[in-house]
Amino acid sequence: MDYRFKSKKLEALFTSKKGAKRYPEGVVSSFFRVMTIIASATDVQDFIALKSRRFEKLCGDREGQYSMRLNDQYRLILEIREEA
């Protein structure tokens, strides 16, 4: 699955680990594991199958977005766009 970063800080973290010290070490390693999952996923069903990441659809101000847990405190927010 293709992905783009909305946040320049997350993109820098992913490409060069820049800014990694501002997050707990476990969160950074979990972020990289989740990004590997996203890159290898073929569709949303792959995320749903991962119960440990608690993939969930968000509502309210975040309608149209999803989240995957990095740990109990941090989560990665996703927007999934259908390919044409």
Residue 19 pLDDT level (bands cut at 50, 70, 90):
confident
Torsion of CA 15, 17, 20, 24, to 10 degrees: 90
**Residue 1 in domain:** no
The range of the structural domain enclosing residue 25 comes to 8-78
pLDDT digits (tens, 9 = 90+) for 32-75: 999 998 888 888 888 888 888 899 999 999 998 999 999 999 99
CATH code for the domain in which residue 28 is found:
3.30.2310.20
**Residue 29 in domain:** yes
pLDDT at 43: 84
**Residue 84 in domain:** no
pLDDT at 61: 94
**Residue 35 in domain:** yes
**Residue 53 in domain:** yes
Coil, strand or helix at 28: helix
How many structural domains is the chain composed of? 1
